[in-house]
Every structure is written in structure tokens, then in C-alpha cells.
Amino acid sequence: MVVAQRAQTLRALVRLLANAAETVIREWESERALADTAEGTFAAHIPSPGLYEAGRVIVGACGECIALVQDPVERLLEVTTSTCAAKALQIAARARVAEVLSQGDTDRGVSIQSISSQTGISDKKLLQVLRCLTFNSIFAEPQRDHFANTALSQRLVRNDGLRCLITMWGDVGTAADKLPSVLFDPVKTHSTSPREAAFQVAYQTDLTLFEYLERGQNAPRFEGEPLHLETWMVGMHTIGETEAAASYVDYPWAALGSKLVVDVGGGVGGMSLELAKRYPQLNFVVQDREAVTKKAEAVWAQALSRPALETGRVRFMPHDFFTEQPVKGADIYLMRHILHDWSDEECTIILRHLREAMRPDSLLLVAEKVTHTATGSPHLKSAPTPLPPNYGYAQMVPGTYAIGMMSLLNGVERTPEEFIDLAEKAGLRLIKLWECRGLVHVIEMRRDDSSPMLK
């Protein structure tokens, strides 16, 4: 890119940033006015459409500005060393540093010696960990060797769900460390089996991720810490509360009326539980492996009250979604974060079992991250120029998830077009992709009785 083009692009990005910043400020002021209303409480973690759009424009534009002005080698090194920053955050979360800091003076901060004594980590080593996290504003260093929370780290205070989610991603990182050895293996590089992913190399096991988690303390050990099913269950539930929050309101659930929702592979029922709180006309069957469903009732009883369970609004059913679906003719079949765990071949098996159980008017709702490539898609909103159609850096988290799923299970995060292909292979058709204000979108499918795949 010649100098004149770079200058033109940079100016356009700055104008885009300025306009989006004014939108954000107006939306902040509007949201402050709603903060004490019922509407404001209901949408506490969901930005308004204007704020969501302006926010991802700003993140994308900042990423493009960095790409223009930062030294290329420095930028490559920043990406390469980002795993160290992630590890620093996992250490801070496990040590509950944010909670220690919350007890101190926010202006002066807490001394590294005091933090060290409360966490059991060497003060000299912990200093390096926390200082690393000041560079991306997770912690602040208001005076030398003293640290305080920022708005980011404050979210970790007494937040076991977020702490478990960060710990869970540390486990994913352990698997991802072995991804190069799998990708450069002439045999494993072509495998789509969940038993031949980087996870097996990292954890020295033949078990799949889910089998390993269910074994708990009986699982094979590797040179490090074991994985814990409880941590992963809480972490996955937290994903629903954070990443998927907009999918509870941006899809028209209320318009469905009184319907039965079969939550396939629903874990402890994270998505169904949130929907049950908001839409009392919906009833649920939550299906998953038996080791998971056994824990689900206690989660629901605590969150929704046991009388709500006794009315029959929810049932828990052990089920393997690679086998025939036992609930026939339900109004809605729901899957969240299921298909990204599996190859196209395995997804087709899962979807065909559901298709065979569906009535002609049944809905299949797939809640997943949807890959938005730099070439764009007619099924997703495109960013304003000069941003790439997918908003560039604003897609970094979904892109990172794709590497995580591949490392754990040989899984795949898919584009809209790839979801269409999957649906067709299973005798389904994609009706609409509901783009939500967050990382998780809702894909609506129905039976396609004219599909040539059924012949």
C-alpha cells in the first residue's frame, strides 16, 4: 500500500472512530437513564443495537489502525506472545487477585508484598504477572509495586463463574500447545476424529474430552493439573450468561407461545434455564449424558425454585445425540454449542436423528458462533468501509474459539454457508439466521421433505 493510500485509509478510520465514539456516548447516556427501570434491569448485559454496532466498529477500526501504524515484526511478536498474557490472567484468576485488591485502597493500590502473602506466590514473580496484565488494562498500577482493580478485573470479584471460564480456557490452551504437532503429522492432519485431536496428545489419553471430564479423579493424569467436570460445567454455564445473553432476546421466543423445547446436549440446562426465567409459557426437556443430567436438577432448583420443577416445566433425560431422538414431534429442538464440537459427518448424523423426530412444522434452533469471514456473507451484516466486511479485529474472539474447538475435538466453527450445507445434507433447510448482539447467533431450520438427500 503506497503512502497516499495508507494516509487515506487512516483518515477514514479516524472519521469512523469519531462518529462511532459519539454514538457510544449518546447510548451510554440513554442507558444510564434506563438503569433503574425494569427494562434497563432486564437487558443489563445486552447493549442496545446502536451501542453494539458502534462498539464493534470501534474495536474493528482500532484493529485496522494498529495494523497500519504498528511495526509489522512487533505486531507478529505481540500475537506470538499473547499466550503468555493469557497464562498470566489464568494465574491471577486462580489466585483470586481481584478479590484481594477489592479489599484495598483503590487510589493507592495494594502492595505486591501484601498480595503475595495472601496468594502464596513469590512477590518478585507475582509482580511480573500483574504488571503484564496492566498493559491491557486488566489491572492498574497506581504507584510503584502497588496494584488496583480496573473495570475489567472488578468483574472477577466473587465471580466464580467467570473464574471457572478463564480456568477452562487455560485447559484449552494446554491442548492448543500440541496443535502444531497434530497439524504437521501426515496422518493426524487429515483426521476429524475427536480421539485424534491435540487434546489427546496434551493429556496423554485415548479418551475424548467429554469422557475424560466424566472420569474425574479416575482420569489419566498428565504432567500438570487434571481437568474437573464441575469447573467446565460452571464455565459453560457462564458462557450462556455472558456470550449468549443476547440470543435470549434477539430471537422472538415470546412469539412462540406455549411450546415444548427439547434442549439437546443441553448440559445442566444453561440456555433453557435462562429462557425459563424469561418466558414462563415455555416447557423444557433437557438432554445430556447421564453424568451431567444428574447435576442439572440441583442447578435448576437453586436458580428457579423447586416448586417450578414440581410443576413439570422441565424434565431431565439422559440421551446420546448420536442415537435416535426419543422425544418425537416436539415443537422445538434446541442445540447450543453442539455442532462446533463435531465434524461435518458427525453433525449430519446428529441432525438427521433430529429431523426424523421432527414434525413438518417443528423448529430446530441452533445457537452457535457463526464465522464471519473477511469476504463477508449475505446472511450477516457487513461493516462500513474501510473496515473489512467482518469488522476485522472485532471477530478475534470467535476466530480464537475456532482454534480451541479444533484443539479439543477436531471441531469446527462454521460460516453461514457451511451451516446451509450441513442442513441440506441432513434433509433440513435453513430458514433464517438471526444475528444477535453478541457472540452467539440463532440459526432457524425446518424439515425439507423435498431434499434430494432423503432419496
Supply the residues annotated as catalytic: 340
Residue 246 CA: distances (Å) to CA of 38, 49, 67, 242, 397: 17, 10, 30, 9, 16
Q: What angle do CA 33, 36, 38 make, to 5 degrees?
A: 110
Residue 69 CA: distances (Å) to CA of 6, 73, 75, 80: 9, 12, 10, 18
Distance CA 231, CA 234 (A): 5
Q: In a 3-state reduction of DSSP, which class is residue 217?
A: helix
Do residues 433 and 380 lie in contact, with contact meaning Cβ atoms separated by under 8 Å? yes
Would you say how long the chain is, in residues?
455
Residue-by-residue DSSP string for 10-75:
HHHHHHHHHHHHHHHHHHHHHHHHHTTSHHHHHTTTS--HHHHHHHHHHHHHHHHHHHHHS-HHHH
Cell of 201: 496428545
Distance CA 242, CA 201 (A): 31
Distance CA 198, CA 20 (A): 41
Neighbour count for residue 301 (Cβ, 10 Å):
14
Do residues 410 and 402 lie in contact, with contact meaning Cβ atoms separated by under 8 Å? no
Cell of 123: 512477590
